[in-house]
Amino acid sequence: MWRLIRRRQEPEPRAAGEAAAQAAVTVAPAQPDLQAAAFFDVDNTMMRGASIYHFARGLATRGLFTSSDLLKFAVGQAVFRLRGNENPEHIAVARETALAFVAGAKVDDVVRLGEEIYDEVMADRIWGGTRALAQDHLDAGQRVWLVTATPVELARVIAQRLGLTGALGTVAESSDGVYTGRLVGDLLHGPAKAEAVRALARREGLDLTRCTAYSDSANDLPMLSLVGHAVAINPDAELREHARKHAWPIKDFRTGRKATLAALPIAAGVGAVAGGVAAGIALRKLYRTQR
């Protein structure tokens, strides 16, 4: 009797599997749209706050520098944000300081720490509404790129975690897998973002009139004005006014406390390099402890 029952039960999993397979609905993948793409700023557009600042926070939790160091950078970012002042000389000084600190760090270490810290700190700060917009482009067969002043290694980590095509970011020179302390080009900020998008379009055969760009900041007007479709996400006052004047769509995913938090870190370029200084300090401390 037991053997009879056993034989009757054996086909059930197979039958269930076959039935499920037959009932499955297959969704055909989107046809690639090779001439259209979407470009997303990161800080306060795709992610709440500054990505490099969150990276620095992750380093702080590892004891690589103090919370007071982090506070100084946060206050500095807030001051620049309130003043609306991104003086080129200030940016240049902060950039050179950051590069001096990061010189000698290993690229692989930055990537590894970036992956760990994204999962621990950054993933929960992704704006769901912006992520959904990116997914709409992917579903339409379009490629989606992040465009940010954040170091390209960290930008790539974010893009990979979000399932996007890739990232354009600030490129720090390296030799034999170690940062030299120099940039390749300059900080990817303001007009440089537009130039990067234009260069990528030439390389990839994109029709910029069919492309879309998203940002929160008037600093990205050169990039937003370059494409056929511009969208203001969580915009600052200047960008909101410009978007209204030019009938660009405006989407604001900030509510209550989130809007307050989003406003703290950053004046875009300065926030990136200030966070980079913090990260550089932490990495130098890491290497000293390893010697």
Q: Quick: pLDDT tens for 153-171.
A: 999 999 999 999 999 998 8
- Residues 223/199, Cβ–Cβ less than 8 Å: no
Active site residues: 41, 43
pLDDT, tens only, 217-249: 999 999 999 999 999 999 999 999 999 999 999
- As a whole number of Å, the end-to-end CA separation of the chain is 72
Which sign does the torsion angle of CA 269, 138, 164, 36 carry?
negative
Contact 152, 169 (CB under 8 A): yes
pTM higher than 0.85 for the full model?
no
Helices (H), the chain: 2-9, 11-23, 51-61, 67-83, 88-102, 107-117, 128-139, 152-162, 191-204, 221-226, 237-245, 257-263, 268-290
Q: What does the pLDDT read at residue 59? A: 78
pLDDT (tens digit, 9 = 90+) per residue, 27-41?
Answer: 555 689 999 999 999
Low-confidence ranges of the chain (pLDDT < 50): 1-11, 21, 26, 77-85, 256-275
Ordered by start, the domain boundaries in the chain are 37-254
Q: Which CATH number fits domain 37-254: 3.40.50.300, 3.40.190.10, 3.40.50.10320, 3.40.50.1000?
A: 3.40.50.1000
Give the single-character DSSP code of 165: S
